[in-house]
Amino acid sequence: MSVAAPPLLAVEGLTKRFGGFTAVQGVSFTVAEGEILGLLGPNGSGKSTTFNCIAGMLRPTAGSVRFAGREIGGLPADEVCRRGIGRTFQIPRPFRHLTLLENALLAAHYGAGGAITQAEAEARARDALRLAQLPDDAHATVAGLGAAGLKKLELARALATRPRLLLADESLGGLDAAEMRAAAEMLKRIRDERGITIVWVEHIMGVLLSVVDRVVVLDHGAVIFEGTPQAAQEDPKVAEVYLGPPEARAA
Ligand SMILES: Nc1ncnc2c1ncn2[C@@H]1O[C@H](COP(=O)(O)OP(=O)(O)OP(=O)(O)O)[C@@H](O)[C@H]1O
Ligand SMILES: [Mg+2]
């Protein structure tokens, strides 16, 4: 008899309240190793808050977050990162006065908890920059990177921490159609070539549906749909949160 592998990430009953406001309520989902999961939902539906609770930027009010079989809910961000979860920020926040390589180097040391040599950190930093299709020489600077370049740098910094699970808060708004496609293909390549499991947060459905294996849709902090990208496109509840009630839609 074969036994199914336990999920790499298991979120159960995750709840986050800010004062009297519940931003995330009872969210549960799992992610299998090697999977790309799309976490979708309209603006303000709780996607980034869910990410921040997993990544240790926020302490969950209730619920459990298990990674590789161990509870990580409430651990600080640096500890979560060292255990193998890398994340990008929706709003890129590089060190603008440092080079691209220095930005990635800092991330490599952070992810390793300071336990690697400078040479090893540099190898990890260059590898991450190349994977994100950025120059890995010592001179390339942050100045001059456009919206797409800044997102690549976010990705490179997350990859330099050598994650087993990548939480990509992508938000492709601000990119043109070709840049969106390139960003989606890059995430797919990272999974295919490196076997890195990915949770991709996005509020635009379009290009995401072509690369994710499964979709979880949030609305007002709760899961309203979980299934294949195909089923998501046909689901009336998903259509309603994205397009409004049927009677209000243009014919
Ligand atoms: N620190 C905070 N304090 C109070 N309210 C917050 C805080 N962070 C988020 N919220 C609120 O929680 C809700 C969910 O926000 P969140 O950023 O998780 O949404 P999102 O799904 O990532 O949206 P977007 O697509 O715009 O990025 C929003 O109503 C937001 O205003
Ligand atoms: Mg967000």
- pLDDT of 236: 93
Residue 137: half-sphere exposure toward Cβ, Cα within 13 Å:
3
pLDDT number for residue 92? 81
Q: Is residue 60 part of a domain?
A: yes
- Confidence at residue 35, expressed as pLDDT on a 0 to 100 scale: 97
Q: Are 90 and 169 in contact (CB under 8 A)?
A: yes
Q: Total domain count for the chain?
A: 2
Token look-up 């409430």 returns: 74
| pLDDT attached to residue 212 | 95
What is the span of the domain harbouring residue 73? 1-84+163-244
Give the angle subtended at the CA of 103 by the CAs of 116 and 132, to the nearest 5°: 95
Q: Which two tokens stand for residue 130?
A: 């190349």
Instruction: Note whether residue 180 is domain-resident.
Output: yes
Quote the pTM value.
Answer: 0.93
The preferred substitution site among 14, 17, 18, 87 for testing ligand 1, maximizing ligand atoms within 8 Å of CB, is: 18
Residues with CB under 5 A from ligand 2 (ion): 47-48, 90
pLDDT value for 238:
92
Cα(48) to ligand 1 centroid in Å equals 7
Q: Is 144 inside a domain boundary? A: yes
Can you give the pLDDT at residue 49?
A: 96
Secondary structure of residue 173 in the 3-state scheme: coil
Instruction: Flag whether 217 is in a domain.
Output: yes
- In this structure, the answer to whether residues 80 and 130 fall within a common structural domain is no
Tell me, what's the pLDDT at 248? Answer: 66
Under-70 pLDDT residues of the chain: 1-3, 173, 245, 248-251
| Same domain assignment for residues 140 and 194 | no
Confidence (pLDDT) at 148: 87
Contacts 24+ apart (CB under 8 A), 174-183: 174/147, 175/147, 175/148, 175/151, 179/147, 179/148, 180/204, 180/206, 180/207, 181/207, 182/148, 183/148, 183/151, 183/207
Q: 227 forms bridges with which residues in the sheet?
A: 215
